[in-house]
Amino acid sequence: MKIKILAFAALLLGLQACDEIPEDEYLLIEGGSQGYQGTGHRVFLEEFTGVKCNNCPAANQKAKNLQAIYGKENLILIGIHAGNLATTDAEHPKAFNTPEGTELFNFFQLFGVPVGFVNRLDYDENRIIKGEGDWAGLVATELERQPVAEINLAEDRYNAGTMELTVSGNVNATGTLPDNIKVCLYLTENDIVSAQTLGDKSVNPNYVHDHVFRGSFSGTYGKTIDLSSGSASFTESITLPSDAVKANCEVIAFIYDADNYEILQSNFIEI
């Protein structure tokens, strides 16, 4: 009998614990950019969102706060509007949904927003999709990794009449890469003023949307790139949406392992 009691007491004591954080140690980082020096391995935070999603502005702000800490040269953001909260109605004249965004939303079997991928880690059929509370830890971990490639990107030409934009770039391997790699180029736009449902369910008709995904240069999943020689170049074009403001647009390029969708490196240019 005593053995049972002692065994149980020991089990309970051994199992239980709680950490006490002093008030002056709640925050590890305060203020804005800390001049973070990354390894060169950039992190791509792919946020799925919607203009009718009242929790999305707060999630988007968390992503922006992370970018403020690490710098946009280290953390690249994109807001993909998709799902049934990315639809228009009388209060939301623009929804920013795109065929590619919807395809990604369905392909990754998403069912609600806000959610997001950090470098599309942990993609598999049974994964737990990461909410905004998980992003900070994943971003911090990813930023510490050594880069396996570098992407250089430049604007080639722009036809203002047709709104066709052409960019070119190259990928140089700096580490061990998987065999099956694809390169993908996305167009994003900042400073779009349009309606968004807020946390208290009110609608702000003049909400400023940043990092809005506007389309892909080379399909939803990009094109295969051959890096067997250690480097490869690419040139891709896109016709900007008719309501896009070119000066507010950016082009993001990333390479990923086509077998598990993990993004290996990314970069961006303002155009």
Partner 1 sequence: MKKHLVFTLALGLGSLGLSAQEKQADYGQIHGNFQTNAQYYLRDTLIDPQGDAYPDERMLAAGFLNLIYTKGDFMAGIRYENYQNNLVGLPEGFKGQGIPYRFARYKKDGFDITVGNYYEQFGSGLVFRTYEERGLGLDNAMDGLRLIVNIRPGITAKALVGRQRIYFNTGDGIVRGGDVEFNLNDFKGKAGSRNLILGASMVSRFQEAQDPIFNLPENVANAGIRANFISSNFNFFAEYAYKSQDPNSANNFIYKPGHAIYSTLSYAKDNLGILLGYKYYDNFLFRSQRVGNFTEAMINYLPPLAELHTYALPALYSYNIQANGETGIQAEVSYKFDRGTLIGGKYGTLLNINFSNSYALDKDFEYRTDIDSSQTISGTDGYKDWAGPGDVQYSQDFNVEVKTKINKSLKGTFSYYNFIYNRSALLDGVIDDRIGPDTHLKYVYVNAAVAELLWKIKPRHSLRTEAQFMHTEQDRGSWALLLLEYSIAPQWFVAVQDAYNYGNPDPDLQIHYPLVSFGYTRGTTKVQVNYGRQQQGVFCVGGICRVVPASNGFSLLLTSNF
Which residues in this chain contact partner 1 in the complex, by CB under 8 A? 1, 4-5, 8, 11-12, 15-21, 23, 25-29, 31-32, 54, 61, 64-66, 68-69, 84, 87, 89, 109, 111-112, 125-128, 130-134, 136-141, 199-201
Amino acid letter for position 236: E
Q: How far is the CB of 59 from partner 1 (least distance, A)?
A: 10
Helix (H, G, I), strand (E, B) or coil at 49: strand
Q: How far is the CB of 194 from partner 1 (least distance, A)?
A: 18
Give dist(CA 255, CA 111) in Å, integer.
Answer: 26
Q: How far is the CB of 71 from partner 1 (least distance, A)?
A: 12
Which CB, 141 or 228, lies closer to partner 1?
141
Give dist(CA 106, CA 6) in Å, integer.
Answer: 54
Which CB, 21 or 160, lies closer to partner 1?
21
Q: How far is the CB of 102 from partner 1 (least distance, A)?
A: 11
Give the pair of three-digit tokens for residue 214.
């506007």
- The closest of 212, 64, 186 to 132, measured between CA atoms, is 64
Compute CA distances 5 → 2, 9, 96, 158, 187, whole Å: 5, 6, 63, 78, 65
Give dist(CA 203, CA 178) in Å, integer.
Answer: 46
Which CB, 101 or 169, lies closer to partner 1?
101
Which CB, 137 or 230, lies closer to partner 1?
137
